[in-house]
Structure 1
Amino acid sequence: MSKADLFLDKKRRGEKIVVVTAYDAPTARIEAEAGVDMILVGDSVGVNILGYAHEREVTLSDMAHHIAAVRRGAPDIYVMGDLPYATYDTPQMALASARTLREAGADCVKFEGAQPDVVAALTAAGFDVCGHLGLESQHQDIKRRQGKTAAAAAKLYDDALAADAAGQKFLVLELVPQELAGRITRAITSATIGIGAGPETDGQVLVVNDLAGVTTRDFKHNRRYGQIGAALRDALSAYAGEVRSGAFPGPEHGFHMADEERAAFEAWLVNHG
């Protein structure tokens, strides 16, 4: 049984799957200690960590670098990694890109859009695959809800079934109506992971910066479980104030040379002055 099959067993038992993003080793370690089931190293690293204007700017090297960091921080957790923009246009490209992410430490590769031929090629080569339908940040300049009309919902439903038949293990559903997410979840064997898709998916994923309050923008699909950004600003402000006032560092934050070593050093200074 593969690691992915353990999550499919959760789906069959009706147990929810907890997924969250991470981009570095310390965060990954904390998430593993907190008991999350899976870490997604998403292309959201671009706008949340690297300062890019769009997910489209993220490179394969960026993804490999951050996946490796997450793997070092959480060596035993299931790690899913995004294939970045323009690295999976053909099955051949997808295979080469997926090998890079697997070498970095990914257990599963995820990509956006309806490409069952790519799913089939990756699956045949032994990769766990996660699809991604609904909002596709790499391909859509304006981030808005998807599948709102009957025709759009039918297209997403058919795309989900096609990718499922091709062998995907997981499917992220982003910003799609709850009714559609529920229908897809019940219709496919792969485990659905929702973000802004309601409670009927098999699991949920949020961006760690959003749920922890590192980012300040409010999203309808997000719940802020902490205020890390505010706490960090307060800590840095206090530090800056104490450095400027001379309150930090205090005597307890440093150390002295042994008397004989200090005397020897002072003598050396006199001789070399």
Structure 2
Amino acid sequence: MPSVTEIREMAGEQSITMLTAYDAVTASIVDAAGTDVILVGDSVGNADMGYESTLPVTVDEIASRTGAVVRGTEDALVVADMPFLSFGVDQSESIEHCGRMLKEEGADAVKIESSKRTVELTERLTELGIPVMAHLGLTPQKVNELGGYTRQGTTPEAARRIIDLANRHEEAGAFSLVLEHVPANLAEKVTDALDIPTIGIGAGPGCDGQVLVINDVVGLSDWEPPFSEQFGDVRSEMAGAVEKYNDAVESGDFPAEEHSHYEDDLDELY
């Protein structure tokens, strides 16, 4: 298993692979493929729970999913994505929620959608032994404030804010930084400015690593963001298998004799 320290030391040395997972079976597949980091993303709200955004996802839901992913993982670093309003309102409550992911569910670190208000929290968490992955650029938990899932850091002023916040979170102790949906040249500047690794999603090839939602990667989604790519077609495979099952049941071909067991002593039950 790569440790937090080892992930930090991969900056500029080796590309970091990160994918989301929300259950033990998926986590075991992602882990066996040699993925460095598994993120138990609050994207579970959109990808797996039928919500239109990540906002309804609760601490209990992330905790349950984190525990499942940990149980399915042997080697990858597991990061729990802290959901909307689980941090930032009250520091002691924020620490309790983050600590729960490590102490009770077995995560190795937490990810926090970052702002100027999370610098102090990041410092306090790392002091207590809770590793923090920061997250700047498009932060989906602020979708209502942003007015949609729009690209961030597109003006010089906005870009400078992101660079400044990236530096401040590194100084506060974050071991890595997710950059989401920002211009590729801004991501390159942030990456050059930091000693910790950057992990991009819709941020171009200049980051130290990349992360995508597992549903998009395997082709389970019926839609994908423009910065993603489907590397498989699991949706079609599943649809085909379900159709074959339904046909087999309706035709009487399933279950067949090889799927059935008979007990001789029951032949004269009535």
Note the C-alpha offset of 1:147: 0.6
1:38 corresponds to: 37
| Deviation at residue 242 of structure 1 after TM alignment | 1.2
**Amino acid paired to 2:96:** A
- Identify which range, 132-141 or 89-98, moves more after superposition: 89-98
Aligned residues: percent identity? 37
1:234 paired residue among 228, 237, 240: 240
- Equivalent residue for 1:9? 9
Q: Which structure's relative contact order is higher, taking Cα pairs within 8 Å and 6+ residues apart?
A: 2
Deviation at 1:96, TM superposition (A): 0.8
Aligned equivalents of 1:262, 1:86: Cα separation in 2: 59
Aligned residue number for residue 81 of structure 1: 80
> Which residue number in structure 2 is paired with residue 117 of structure 1?
120
Per the alignment, residue 178 of structure 1 pairs with 184
Of the two, which has the highest radius of gyration? 1
Secondary structure of the corresponding residue to residue 132 of structure 1: strand
Offset at residue 75 of structure 1 (A): 3.5
What's the TM-score, normalizing by structure 2?
A: 0.94
The CA RMSD over aligned residues, in Å, is: 1.3
Distance 2:149 2:70 in 1: 30
Q: Is the 8 A contact 1:94 1:122 kept in 2?
A: no
1:156 aligns with 2:166: no
Cα contact 1:160–1:184 (8 A) shared by 2? yes
CA distance in 2, matches of 1:36, 1:243: 38
Secondary structure of 1:233's aligned partner: helix
Stretches of structure 2 that go unaligned for 5 or more consecutive residues are none
Displacement after TM superposition at 1:241 (Å): 1.1
The letter of the residue matching 2:212 is: L
Question: Is the 8 Å Cα contact of residues 91 and 122 (structure 1) preserved in structure 2?
Answer: no
User: Which one of the candidate residues 240, 252, 255 is aligned to 1:249?
Assistant: 255
Aligned residue runs from structure 1 range 180-195, under 5 A: 180-195=186-201
What is the CA–CA distance in structure 2 between the aligned matches of 1:144 and 1:252, rounded to whole Å?
55
Partner of 2:266: 262
Quote the offset at 1:172 in angstroms.
0.4
The equivalent residue for 2:109 is: 108
User: Does residue 1:132 correspond to 2:135, yes or no?
Assistant: yes
**8 Å contact from structure 1 (residues 134, 175) kept in 2:** yes
* Deviation, structure 1 residue 110: 0.6
- Does the 8 Å contact 1:38/1:79 carry over to 2? yes
Aligned twin of 2:150: 144
Structure 2 distance, partners of 1:158, 1:11, is: 19
CA distance in structure 2 between the aligned counterparts of 1:182 and 1:262, rounded to whole angstroms? 73
Q: CA deviation at 1:99?
A: 1.3
Alignment size in residue pairs: 262
